[in-house]
Structure 1
Amino acid sequence: MTIQCYSWPTPNGHKVHIMLEECALPYEAIPIDIGAGEQFAPAFLKISPNNKIPAIVDPDGPDGKPISLFESGAILLYLAGKTGQFLPKDTAGKYRVMEWLMWQVGGFGPMLGQAHHFRIYAPERIQYAYDRYTNEAKRLYGVLDKQLGKHEFVAGKQYTIADMAIFPWCRSAANQGIDWADFPNAKRWFDAIEARPAVQRGVQVLADRRKPLMDDKAKQALFGTQQYQKR
């Protein structure tokens, strides 16, 4: 049965697109234009109460019953469990992957998002914020680079959902203030992941819907008071 993937071409969306492509699962990508405020629609909030993409509805969930899920990390773990792919079966290996998945969800993604925001989208340059998040981005890339100096993939010898979670955030490294020359191990890994056919398909999902420039309406939906209205 076809999984419904409510998403947009952002790093968090691409994590799930990549996993769906890697697992060759049948799915329908349903665009949620976050610049137009579609993430605040009551129907979407029923499956994603935090008004964020991605979210999925799997009509063939546990025990054959439908299930809806939000939060990209939870979705990756669910799909790995459903398919038995990209998450080691041994306990130690599984938790090593989960460790790096949580690192991405709790730190790498949010901090790079802030670096991107204050470097690219902030209406004025706030030097403290600019430096704070640029430096944190560099620190996190350093953590990643060190790990990849010891292992082929983020969590060891195998390509897993941890790699899928981290990779999309690295596609905007230049906007985060990152020079790949400073992180050769991470660059080697990035190039290897980028070359995978399923990854190439995944990052193209809904890509034609994204506008190159963000207008005032989109900024309001993403960063303004609309984000904080009670619903």
Structure 2
Amino acid sequence: MALSFFDQFLSPMLLGVSLMTIALTFPWILFPTPSSRWLNNRLLTLQSWFISRFTQQLLLPLNPAGHKWALIFCSLMVFLITLNSLGLLPYTFTPTTQLALNMGFAVPFWLATVLTGLRNQPNVAVAHILPEATPSLLVPVLIIIETASLFIRPLALGVRLTANLTAGHLLIQLISTASFVLIPMMPGVAFLTMVLLFLLSLLEVAVAMIQAYVFVLLLSLYLQENL
């Protein structure tokens, strides 16, 4: 039976049980935990430096009221980077290629930022729906447009992450298949295709990190609007 290229995005099953839970919890096992020693090893030092630099960069546009979100944003960033990167390994599954999972990340965080704005500054949060000095004829139209743009934000977050990772995985699958097919017929072209596959794999590693950063950065910008 010929398999589809999209079969790699199906949730893995073992004896009828979904392995999504294992795929989601496995990344946390890979991170070393700090010890009680005065000096940490190189891996822990590098990990702490990365987290501190990212937290500093993330909190730069936020006012002090938003600094309490640093822990959850940083944890989400590290979690997404790990899931995206592990999915590039052979015989692995990328949970973030599932739109349902990404929407499960996007909707609660987006809703939390909106509720924060409604609680802290309700007048300003509602005022975003209708810009100041709007002509009377455009008031109903602008209210509908601004409300739709507000509710489409979590969908844009989830679809952006899903589409970028899915497109990259499909390109890797297609180019690798072409390389194996061309080896007996045109070895020279197959070698060039493998070089292209290697470069694309490096690009996908960068995309896995960048998309996780963009996801969290957009959430921080949504939070900034409501603080």
Flag the structure with higher helix content. 2
Q: TM-score, normalised by structure 1?
A: 0.29
Structure number with larger C-alpha Rg: 2
TM-score (norm 2): 0.29
Structure with a larger share of its residues in strand:
1
